[in-house]
Amino acid sequence: MSGSLLLTGGRVIDPSSGLDEVRDVLVRDGRVEAVEQGVAGPEGIPRIEAEGLVVAPGLIDVHVHLREPGAEHKETIRTGAQSAAAGGFTTIWAMPNTDPPLDDPAAVGFVREEARRWARKGEGGARVSPVAAASLGLAGEQMTEIGGLVEAGAVAVTDDGHPIHDPALMRRLLEYTQSFGIPVLQHAEDMALSAGGVMNESAVATALGLRGIPNASEATVVARDIYLAELTGGHVHVQHVSTREAVELIRVARERGVRVSGEASPHHMALTEEAVRGYRTEAKMNPPLRSAADRLAVRQGLIDGVLECVATDHAPHHYEEKEREFDDAPFGIVGLETALAVCIGELVKPGDLPLFDLVERMSTAPARLMGIEGGTLRPGSRADLVLFDPDEEWTVDPASFRSKSRNTPFGGWEVTGRVKRTIVGGETRYRDESAGPD
Amino acid sequence: MTAQGRESGFGKDLIGLEALTGDQIEAILDTAEPFKEISERKIKKVPVLRGQTIVNLFLEPSTRTRISFEFAEKRLSADTVNISSAGSSVQKGETLVDTARNLEAMRIHMVVVRHGSSGAAKFLADRIPSNVINAGDGQHEHPTQALLDLLTIRDRFGAIAGRRVCIVGDILHSRVARSNIWGLLKCGADVAVCGPRTLIPAGIEELGVQRLDSIEEAIEWCDVLYVLRLQLERMEGGYVPSLREYNRVFGVSSERLGRAGDEMIVLHPGPMNRGVEIDSDVADGPRSVILPQVTNGVAVRMAVLYLLAGGRPELAEDAKAAAR
């Protein structure tokens, strides 16, 4: 019986229904059928012992770079989706800054179909939803054919990596996207203010002789976009919020009802600019790791719900590209396979955020925020689930990643919380092999 | 002694002064003292580094630093090879890591590296067992420049501790400023910086220096005025409106030096823009120690080469004497 199974004795955390209790979960034909105690289940259905594990809605990451088409030496749709499944994600959003970019329906359709093709061949991972370019060629000038892109499967638009600078274009995007009920995702950065910058602007950058990116390069764009969202009624989602100023701007704007949301990345919550010392290119990303005060503000933003969700900004790069002078190394780190454990270690273990809330921020919240399926175990919903051991300690070994790339600042970290199984539509797409045979 | 992974008491490499202690810096300056005299001899050569191979890897244009290193190496009898980016494999797209591996495969003892990116010297040092000497990496450090500056200040005042040094100009883009800040602070000087706010980097006070906004105030305050070169491209970058304006507000003129203390001296790392950051009557005037800086550059670099090759400061006098 494909797409059917019974998970027994797990701690079921379903933020969508406020549930946090030991239950059995019956999945039939790819859908959740029952979440109850002592479910017998039909004959012949596979049973999976989940005692000691958390059973939760599959994680959702709305910010992932899959590099295909164009940079398949860094990552492909297949390896990226598998990497996501290994990290407990059942849905990921693929950014459009590929080569060519996802600015026409054929390119968007390719990404969606490629993921489905590998899934049919038994090599699938998380579901892949393409995010389309907001402007043609990501050039920030002419709006893409958003209607056609949505028809082809796009779930949002963004020029991620190429911040939308022109305020008139941003305004039109926030107006036009409302016809389709999709958000505009913005990499908030004023490129003129950050020109040439490779890390946070601060005394650390001064000592290292590296050019800085000031907090204001993010905050000024967030402030502008908030006013444009207020003007238009559109939904602007601020990607990878890194500064205390941006968190505060979003907090105040949300209080007065502006449709602005934000995401927090595990690395901005776990690390500061100090990680760059020694010219460590695996700590080079954009927006950069910031000061201790910024790190605390982003954490607090997620804890308070001002930043509604966690997103990794998974950005694979080949090791040769990172093995060079700091100025010349590309921005970005991989994050899918470490996100859950890093967040448990940073937020749950110190007692700052209950595990229930972390699951919410990583599944239910992004689904609700973006208006997509998932993030729930309610009967009838799609059986996208993750099983993880919240207490298992392990050491991050980049060589074991499913991702094609290894560029992580968390290599060698002792972390807590390990994904044991990821189920997409009732089908197991990842299983921790150290758990022994099925 | 082998070339492979050897270490002096100063570590394998000289990447920057941030990593050294005040005692280590003073010991390098002490070591430079006996080497000064070699350059005054008729035959300017001692066999201290005989049989040692040194590559001068200059991936960014340089005249005086490269020549100063070359003289230092030759006067210590090392065998040297010069590589510059123009016409080299680097220009053909070779990565720094491959350049490093190739150099290593040729079994060299030391690399003196100049590179346009901050951290490049450390990058190289982390990947090869040879001694690496940083001859300037991006906007990070230029340790031998600061050492020769420190030696020049010590020559004049007898000690660095307690002296007030103000660095004037483009601190933001200056590796010379950074190395001097570390070196001066570690040797006990009081350090200030002065320049247009557009060229003062973020968080400079957190490094332990004070900021002075006017050149007049700086001149009155300091024992040593360290004038940095204003690179002409800073104007295009919008950091200063014009060279004329810069000279008007921050230029060091003999008129402004009227406010200085009797003993105050003026340093400049070169090459100078006469009439921009410094007027000719100052550069060539009685307070200028700009040429003694250049002379000291060779001695300091001899000392660094000698120490990294395993020489000991207290034996420098013997090493020199044995050559006679």
**For the segment A355-375, what is each residue's pLDDT rounded down to a tens digit?**
999 999 999 999 999 999 999
Q: How high is the pLDDT of residue B271?
A: 92
Q: How high is the pLDDT of residue B94?
A: 84
Q: How high is the pLDDT of residue B7?
A: 54
Q: Could you tell me the CA-to-CA distances from B55 to A196, B28, B60, B90, B103 in Å, in that order?
A: 31, 22, 15, 15, 8
Smallest CA–CA distance, residue B173 to chain A, in Å, is 8
Residues of B with CB under 8 A from a CB of A: 18, 95-97, 115-120, 122-123, 137-141, 175, 178, 201-204, 206-207
Structure tokens at A162: 């190429």
Structure tokens at A80: 């990226």
Note the Cα A389 to chain centre separation in Å: 20
Q: Which of A338, A343, A370 is nearest to A355 (CA)?
A: A343
For the whole model, what pTM was predicted? 0.94
A315 in Cβ contact with A333 (< 8 Å): yes
Run of H or E including B145: helix B143-157
Higher pLDDT residue, B3 or B207? Answer: B207
Structure tokens at A373: 């399926």
Higher pLDDT residue, A369 or B324? Answer: A369
pLDDT at B10 over 80: no
Residues linked to residue A200 through DSSP beta bridges, in sequence order: A213
Q: Among all residues of A, which ones are annotated catalytic?
A: 313
User: Quick check: A208 and B140 CB within 8 A?
Assistant: yes
Core vs surface per residue B28-40: b (16+ CB within 10 A) or e = bbbbbbbbbebee
Give the whole-angstrom CA distance, residue A172 versus residue A164. Answer: 11
Q: How high is the pLDDT of residue A435?
A: 66
Instruction: Kindly indicate the confidence band of residue B3, based on its pLDDT and cuts at 50, 70 and 90.
Output: very low
Q: Which residue has the tokens 């060539």?
A: B284
Maximum CA extent, chain B: 57
Q: How high is the pLDDT of residue A438?
A: 66
ipTM computed for the complex: 0.91
Q: Could you tell me the CA-to-CA distances from A410 to A18, A321, A398, A413 in Å, in that order?
A: 32, 18, 8, 5
Q: At what angle do helices B290-308 and B143-157 cross, to 10 degrees?
A: 120
Q: Which of A54, A65, A58 is nearest to A97 (CA)?
A: A65
Give the whole-angstrom CA distance, residue B129 versus residue B134. Answer: 15
Q: How high is the pLDDT of residue A40?
A: 86
Q: Which of B278, B303, B288, B222 is nearest to B10 (CA)?
A: B303
What residues of chain A score a pLDDT lower than 70? 1, 435-438
Give the alpha-carbon dihedral of B86, B92, B98, B101, to 10 degrees.
-50
Coil/strand/helix, residue A232: helix
Q: Measure CB to CB from residue B202 to each of A201, A320, A326 and give the nearest one.
A: A201
Q: What is the mean pLDDT of residues B34-44?
A: 89
Structure tokens at B255: 């008129």
Structure tokens at A213: 């990116």
Q: What residues have CB less than 8 Å from A229, skipping those under 6 apart?
A: A174, A235, A236, A253, A258, A259, A260
Candidates B118, B204, B209, B236: best to mutate against A (most CBs of A within 10 A) is B118
Candidates A199, A200, A318, A325: best to mutate against B (most CBs of B within 10 A) is A325
pLDDT at B1 over 60: no
E-strand spans in A70-131?
89-94, 127-130
B279 in Cβ contact with B251 (< 8 Å): yes
Q: How high is the pLDDT of residue B5?
A: 42
Percent of chain B that is helix, strand, coil (3-state, to 5):
40, 15, 40
Q: How high is the pLDDT of residue A4?
A: 94
B195 in Cβ contact with B250 (< 8 Å): yes
Residues linked to residue A6 through DSSP beta bridges, in sequence order: A26, A47
What whole-number percentage of chain A has pLDDT above 90? Answer: 96
Q: Which of A222, A241, A256, A354 is nearest to A296 (CA)?
A: A241
Instruction: Clarify whether B50 is annotated catalytic.
Output: no
Catalytic residue chosen out of the listed positions B75, B109, B114, B154 = B114
Structure tokens at A59: 């994680």
User: Quick check: A320 and B95 CB within 8 A?
Assistant: yes
User: Quick check: B203 and A279 CB within 8 A?
Assistant: no
Which chain B residues are Cβ-neighbours of A328 within 8 angstroms? 117
Residues linked to residue A48 through DSSP beta bridges, in sequence order: A7
Give the whole-angstrom CA distance, residue B11 versus residue B15. Answer: 10
Which segment of A4-8, B98-102, B123-127, B177-181 scores lowest on mean pLDDT?
B98-102
Q: How high is the pLDDT of residue B241?
A: 92
- DSSP string covering A376-391, please? ---TTSB--EEEEEEE
